[in-house]
Amino acid sequence: MARKEISTSPNWDDPDEAPPWSPEVFARAEVSKGDKVVRPATGTLTRGRPKSEVTKAHVSLRLDRDVLERWRASGPGWQARINEVLRKAVDA
C-alpha cells in the first residue's frame, strides 16, 4: 500500500509582514541577552479563565436517588437550579 506523503515544510510568516511593536508591547516583552534573561515578561497572559469574585466550594453530597433523578431530568443547569433553591432557603 502506498504511503501518503506528509508535507514537512513549515508555514513560515515573513517577519517583514509582522505588525510593528508598540511601546506597550515592548514594556511587556521578555528581554534577554544571549541565553540569559535580563527581564522576564510581565505575565499579562495567564492560564485558565479569570477568577470570579464569587467563588464556589466543591462538595460531596449524598441525595436520595429519586430526588437526584428528578433534578437531572430537569435538563442542563440543574446544579445551578439546586444552588438557587438552597440560596433562597438560606436567605429566608
pLDDT in tens, 1-51: 677 777 766 677 777 877 888 888 888 888 888 888 887 777 666 677 878
DSSP β-ladder status, 36-39 and 31-33:
antiparallel
Site of grid cell 534577554: 32
Of residues 71 and 34, more confidently modeled: 71
- Tell me the C-alpha distance between 14 and 8, whole Å: 18
